[in-house]
Amino acid sequence: MAENARRTVSLRRVGERRYVATNARGGELSFGQGDGGDFTPVELLLTAIAGCSAIDIDLITSRRAEPDVFEMETTATKIRDEQGNRLENIEVSIRISFPDGDEGDAAREVLPDAVKKSHDRLCTVSRTVEIGTPVALNLE
């Protein structure tokens, strides 16, 4: 495996059911169980799914035109069944519009293909969820 292919995020507890995740570049993100404005881990997963595709789609379309509107919303239903807690019916709604004119027309033309490419092969997050990659918890 190539050295730059490995991804790592460290997590530390900073309070009662509150945590900070730190990436290899020093960026930090706080989250918790959902008290106040804290994002929950499930909300972070939904954010990651939309964010991953947003980057893919933006990279492809904004080469042609800057969007007037670029909004995404991810929804899912949290269930508990014999398999445990999980999400089902994950759906990302995409609202993107471009200005009138040739550049906007060019961006609109590639938008459906950009969405398809992101879903089918580019977005690491949604591809991982859809394929169902196992997660190992190792107690050290």
Task: Say how far apart CA 70 and CA 115 lie, in whole Å.
Answer: 13
**Section 41-52 average pLDDT:** 97
Which one-letter DSSP state was computed for residue 66?
Answer: -
pLDDT at position 53: 98
Which pLDDT value is given to residue 60?
Answer: 98
- Round to whole Å and give the CA distance between 14 and 99: 45
Q: What is the pTM for the complete model shown?
A: 0.91
Q: Which residues contact 39 (CB under 8 A, 6 or more apart)?
A: 31, 32, 47
Are 124 and 58 found together in one domain?
A: yes
Same-domain status, 49 and 95: yes
Q: Say if residue 6 is in the same domain as residue 52.
A: no
Residue 4 has pLDDT above 90, yes or no: no
Number of domains in the chain: 2
- The Cα 85–Cα 71 span in angstroms is 28
Does residue 127 sit in the same domain as residue 64? yes
What confidence tens digit (pLDDT) does each residue in 118-136 have? 999 999 999 999 999 999 9
The pLDDT assigned to 36 comes to 83
Do both 45 and 113 map to the same domain? yes
Enter the tokens of residue 33: 């169980």
Q: How far apart are CA 131 and CA 126, in angstroms?
A: 8
- In degrees and rounded to multiples of 5, residue 28 shows phi and psi of -125, 150
Q: For position 3, what pLDDT does the model report?
A: 55
- Residue 140, in any domain of the structure: no
